[in-house]
Homo-oligomer: A and B are copies of this chain.
Amino acid sequence: MYSTDFTKRLLTYRLSLTHLKKVGLNDVYSHLLAGETSHSASLIRKDLSRLQVKGKRRGGYDIDTILQAINAYFGNKERDRIILAGMGNIGKAIIQNKDFEKHNIQIIASFDLNPAIQRKKFSIPVFPMEKCREIVVNYKIDVAILAVPAFSAQSVCDQLIQCGIRGILNFAPVNLKVPDNVYVSNVRLVDELQQVIYHTKQKRKHGEYS
């Protein structure tokens, strides 16, 4: 299986390529894409080669061909349906984000422990956790976004897995414990920011300009 870095780079390429296409280009050179994505040209060529995308020598690569290959890699034929656990600030921000729809990802339902929130109206239905199994099973859901407070994250995570969830995007600042047939990816906003702060300070110290 390919490394997660490879997979991540593909999404970076896709972002730049859709942009370049919008700007009016039909072809790219590896150098051009390198400038856009800050990956080296030779690495890009290697990645495209792994995707079995052929370029024309001296002619560059056809953008649509690359985009199709990337989408095929992610299996973007069918629409992916997922659920959301936690309707706090982050949860709300997520369901209001239109980008998921654009990429054929649909959040079909949300869960929250708080009955007051269950009663409020959102763009998607909000259920109590007890409803989780029913929905996961009926709609054959594999993936969940976990956006609950830290103190309940592990417990909600366990419930999700119990219901059949096999992939989790976790926003809670917790290192979840899961069986190894479950895939977890963490988005830790504080950590991300702390890293930016750290590396910014480092650049000031060691950077070429200072």
Residues of B within 8 A of A203 (CB): 166-167, 181-183
Evaluate contact between A168 and B196: CB separation under 8 angstroms: yes
Counting contact residues on chain A (CB < 8 A from B), the size range is 35 or more
Evaluate contact between B183 and A74: CB separation under 8 angstroms: no
A51 interfacial by beta-carbon distance below 8 Å: no
Interface segment, one of A42-50, A53-61, A98-106, A112-120: A98-106
Residue of B nearest to A147 (CB): B93
A3 to chain B minimum Cβ distance, whole angstroms, is 11
Evaluate contact between A198 and B7: CB separation under 8 angstroms: yes
A100 to chain B minimum Cβ distance, whole angstroms, is 6
A65 interfacial by beta-carbon distance below 8 Å: no
Cα separation A169 to B75 with both chains bound (whole Å):
29
Evaluate contact between B74 and A194: CB separation under 8 angstroms: yes
Cα separation A73 to B202 with both chains bound (whole Å):
11
Interface residues of A in 148-193 (CB under 8 A from B): 166-169, 173-175, 177, 180-183, 185, 187-193
Evaluate contact between A202 and B103: CB separation under 8 angstroms: no
Evaluate contact between A202 and B80: CB separation under 8 angstroms: no
A23 interfacial by beta-carbon distance below 8 Å: no
Cα separation A187 to B187 with both chains bound (whole Å):
8
A163 to chain B minimum Cβ distance, whole angstroms, is 14
Q: Which of B167, B173, B180 contacts A197 (CB 8 A)?
A: B167
Cα separation A73 to B100 with both chains bound (whole Å):
37
A40 interfacial by beta-carbon distance below 8 Å: no
A66 interfacial by beta-carbon distance below 8 Å: no
A68 interfacial by beta-carbon distance below 8 Å: no
A142 to chain B minimum Cβ distance, whole angstroms, is 5
Q: What are 24 A-B contacts with C-beta separation under 8 Å?
A: A1-B202, A4-B195, A7-B195, A11-B188, A15-B174, A15-B191, A16-B175, A74-B194, A75-B198, A80-B197, A82-B193, A89-B92, A89-B96, A93-B93, A99-B190, A142-B200, A143-B196, A143-B200, A145-B193, A183-B196, A183-B199, A183-B200, A185-B199, A187-B187
